[in-house]
Structure 1
Amino acid sequence: MNVITCFDIREPVLHISSGKFTAGIHWKHKHMYHDGNFEIIIMIKGTIYLQVDNQHYTVQEGEIFALPPYHHLHGYKESPKDTQYFWFHFFTKPHGLKSLKIDKYDNKKIQSFFKKEQAVLPLQSKMPSLEKVFILSNQILDVAKNNYFTSMSVDYLLTTLIIELSENYYKSLLGTPISEEEARIDGIKEWIRANLSEKLKVSEVADAFDLNPHYLVRIFKQQANQTVIQYINRLKLQQAKELLLRTNLPIKQIASMSFYPDEKRFMKVFKENLFLTPSEFRHAYTKKFLDSSKFDPEVPITKDTENYRNRFE
């Protein structure tokens, strides 16, 4: 069975706390009870081992764990050192969510819950793309720490993140059959991802699949709506953006790890595509925010706050 939660998004959720956590040696999640609050965990790297009531879950890099209220949560096993994830605690309005158990293969049933005013998340899912989710997560942490004139600024951003995760889940459910050509291009894309390098050329990709380079360029453009070179460059930029957001590495090292020949070339390409320098991009999202290593999960989260009363009572 698959646990899914439906969120009423006619008004934003109420952000409680959030952060980005990095595990030390011998770390495992402390016990906490979700007394009315919802938690979303977005894995950046590593693995966490969570026990929800009496059920064990392994949550790995690139996965989302969306835990509804009224469950006990703790780690049943130590995580690898430097495991890292974003976490978000929030309330919805009274009766603003419902959790259901649905046959995980009944995609049509699950799809029926997606509505204009309702987002849907499963307990555990895989992210098809990290870029948008990481940027939104960092925006939330940045805004939450900057004391905007209205606390609803972070509430709206967090609701946007929920909608983005829900959209990703919805697309994964569609499961439309792909043609032989689409399957072939998907395989080529995966090969490019695995073999990305500073000097990767179209001819090398074509040779790996025993294709004529001109034929590869034509079918790739038809199926992917971009050229092979555009796809390679997009992967490099995506790698660079993730490293800028996830690490404090120097720009020169990020250029190298993103397969650019030198720092100057990297900065030129980045500015042309993002209209920001790498440093400007990083600084837009990396102001200091609450790190959950300083957040004690055993401290109860309560609805008895001024924000909650002003919004929902």
Structure 2
Amino acid sequence: MANQYLSISCLPLPTYVQSGHVIFNPGERHPNRNNFQFFVMMFMVRGKLYIAEDDQKYTVQPGEMFILQPKHHHYSWKPMDEVTEYYWIHFSVIGDYRQSKEFKQLQSIIQVPSLHYYTPDITLFLNKHVHLTNIESACSVVKKIFQSSAAQNSVGFWQAQQLFIDLLQQVQSQTPAKSTTTILASEIQRYLRDHFDEKITNEKLGDIFHVHPNSITTSMKKTFGITPNAFLTKYRLEEAVKRLLSTSEQISKIAADVGYQNVYYFSMTFKRCYGLSPLTYRKRYNDK
């Protein structure tokens, strides 16, 4: 598997367009496309995909991620010889991007005045074809992206975009400059955002990331200045606010959707943070 990298300018950010899941039977082929306008990101579950981009042939196997560039010729160079299954995402990039054998730092197409000292120049680096050690986690996020997108409402749109950015962070190629503590903290933070509606403890996080539970708290505090529990509470309440102001769902449903099984505890935590009960907050700030 020859190393090829996609370098993508992230100001503005890549944008999620659509996602899905496909199963091919033996003898079938991937669609033959010319000048398709979106990137295609694939996460292989089983089988083998024989895919070509222009004159370059690839074989994508289980546990691997593969990315097709937009506006190139994509086709099967060989039909499937077994049941083949993968998840896919289409995404769009307005800024500059390059595919090459090495990382390329790219400039933003947005002209940022020099007085904006703290606006970073961000280039996203992705392996075009790589084996992922966390393929199950990646597929789990892709499923959530699809569910949010399929909801067909304003909350679902923003959730899908946010989850997509989290996915890019999860699969990006790490640069040597990042310390192990920073990498761990970033992975924990992403996990908390992607699984905020589930029951999460430091012990569970320790098992997931194969470190002592104390290291979970230490890395988060050192990198972001906040404990995992405090971050999770803050994130859950922010998600609750989105739902309070953009839907008419009952308070009990919103509480359950953001990870609180006890609606009274949710209301108490919400009031401690915002100074108002969820119902009063909705009545005061809802523009509808």
Alignment TM-score, normalising by the size of structure 2: 0.51
Corresponding residue for residue 122 of structure 2: 117
Corresponding residue for residue 83 of structure 2: 82
Corresponding residue for residue 132 of structure 1: 137
Alignment check: 8 A CA contact 2:3 2:101 kept: yes
Change (3 A) 1:132 1:275: farther
Alignment check: 8 A CA contact 1:15 1:158 kept: yes
Deviations 1:171-196 (A, max 9, x none): 7x79xxxxxxxxxxxxxxxxxxxxxx
Q: Tell me the CA shift for residue 86 of structure 1.
A: 0.6
Whole-Å separation in 2 of the counterparts to 1:116 and 1:43: 32
Deviations 1:12-31 (A, max 9, x none): 43322210101123111120
Change (3 A) 1:54 1:132: same
Higher relative contact order (CA 8 A, sep 6+): 1
Alignment check: 8 A CA contact 2:29 2:80 kept: yes
Equivalent residue for 2:151, pick from 146, 149, 171: 146
Count, aligned residues: 170
Corresponding residue for residue 33 of structure 2: 32
Aligned residue for 1:135, secondary structure, equals helix
Paired residues for 1:38-53 under 5 Å: 38-53=39-54
Whole-Å separation in 2 of the counterparts to 1:158 and 1:97: 19
Corresponding residue for residue 66 of structure 2: 65
Whole-Å separation in 2 of the counterparts to 1:156 and 1:71: 27
Aligned residue for 1:33, secondary structure, equals coil
Letter in 1 for 2:174: Y
- Calculate the aligned-residue CA RMSD, in Å: 3.1
Whole-Å separation in 2 of the counterparts to 1:88 and 1:77: 22
Deviations 1:5-48 (A, max 9, x none): 12233444332221010112311112012443111011011110
Change (3 A) 1:38 1:47: same
Change (3 A) 1:58 1:275: farther
Deviations 1:218-254 (A, max 9, x none): xxxxxx646xxxxxxxxxxxxxxxxxxxxxxxxxxxx
Whole-Å separation in 2 of the counterparts to 1:112 and 1:16: 25
Deviations 1:85-124 (A, max 9, x none): 011112122xx23113225xxxxxx3978x8732211221
Whole-Å separation in 2 of the counterparts to 1:10 and 1:112: 13
Alignment check: 8 A CA contact 1:68 1:99 kept: no
Whole-Å separation in 1 of the counterparts to 2:260 and 2:23: 31
Corresponding residue for residue 163 of structure 1: 169
Aligned residue for 2:87, secondary structure, equals strand
Corresponding residue for residue 196 of structure 2: none
Paired residues for 1:210-289 under 5 Å: 225=211
Alignment check: 8 A CA contact 1:3 1:99 kept: no
Alignment check: 8 A CA contact 2:48 2:82 kept: no
Alignment check: 8 A CA contact 1:6 1:120 kept: yes
Aligned residue for 2:77, secondary structure, equals strand
Change (3 A) 1:116 1:64: farther
Whole-Å separation in 1 of the counterparts to 2:38 and 2:19: 13
1:4 aligns with 2:5: yes
Whole-Å separation in 2 of the counterparts to 1:112 and 1:98: 10
Whole-Å separation in 1 of the counterparts to 2:99 and 2:76: 24
Corresponding residue for residue 288 of structure 1: none
Alignment check: 8 A CA contact 1:19 1:88 kept: yes
Identity %, equivalent residues: 20
Higher deviation after alignment, 123-132 or 7-16: 7-16
Alignment TM-score, normalising by the size of structure 1: 0.48
Show structure 1 runs of 5+ residues with no match. 104-109, 175-223, 227-273, 277-313
Whole-Å separation in 2 of the counterparts to 1:44 and 1:275: 32
Aligned residue for 1:139, secondary structure, equals helix
Alignment check: 8 A CA contact 1:41 1:85 kept: yes
Alignment check: 8 A CA contact 1:37 1:91 kept: yes
Change (3 A) 1:12 1:112: closer
